Amino acid sequence: MDQTHIINTGISIQVSLSGYSFKVLTGGEVRSSGWLGAERIFTTPEFQKRYDHVEISLLTPKVALVPDAFLEKASARKALEEVTALEEGDFVETVSLPSLASTLVFSNSVGESLSKVVAQTVLPASGEPVRVLPEMYYLLRELESLTEYNKIVASWHSGYLYLVIAQGKSLCLANVFEAPDFTTAEYFLFLGMKRLQLNPEVSTVCFRTPLDQEAEMSLYRYFKSVVQL
């Protein structure tokens, strides 16, 4: 395998049960792949190089955001079991979000091995595999870079909508909804905004996962702007 080191670049990879997508940053320009099937992982040229920065996210619904003041490491599994069903063999992990004074509790045990293969294949310049983190972690982290007062960040794929909404520096919602189609995903998106009394006509919605043209145009009917991160 070609492990050429690409200088001053980064790659961000999103993995689901049915495939993956990635974005490559080179010289300030971003190139996106769209969703690809798992069978293409070993023939993707971008995966045969090393980068200065590598991020790998897994679209797992098994997540819970817990304020640090209420979380003890020994009770992390219990905290996750309160919001999602866990199998006996599910491994529970945590990752800190200092900007929110909270910890994300999650499990990557969702019946897939693709994210592990990606982590072993796509390496940073150091050669050390990066940690696979849940998609929710990256949604929450995106809040720090958004400048509008209403901050709406989402991902949708493989039957789930991952949604984060904040106003200013206050986090209002961080949840995962079962959404088998994009119409259902839009329903939960608008329901969350309605409960928070946010007007989509003056708001920008940001999606981390790729949107096809039909989904993007549907969102443009309601929102001031639609951004694909």
pLDDT, tens digit, 9 for 90 and up, residues 191-228: 999 999 999 999 999 999 999 999 999 999 999 999 99
In this predicted structure, what is the pLDDT of residue 217?
A: 95
Residues 120 and 69 in one domain: no
Residues 161 and 208 in one domain: yes
Structural domain range at position 39: 4-60+111-130
In this predicted structure, what is the pLDDT of residue 2?
A: 54
Type of residue found at 132: V
Average pLDDT score, the chain: 92
Residues 79 and 147 in one domain: no
Give CA–CA dist 173/163, Å, rounded.
7
Give CA–CA dist 59/135, Å, rounded.
5
Q: Give how many domains the chain has, as a whole number.
A: 3
28: pLDDT strictly greater than 90: no
What b/e readout covers 97-107, taking b as 16+ CB neighbours within 10 angstroms?
A: beebebbbbbb
Helix, strand or coil, per DSSP, at residue 148: coil
Tokens for 137? 């972690």
Give CA–CA dist 49/6, Å, rounded.
7
> Considering the entire predicted model, what is its pTM?
0.92
β-partners of residue 96 are 103
Give CA–CA dist 58/48, Å, rounded.
20
Residues 13 and 115 in one domain: yes
Residues 28 and 79 in one domain: no
130, 163, 186: which is the final residue of a domain?
Answer: 130
Residues 156 and 197 in one domain: yes
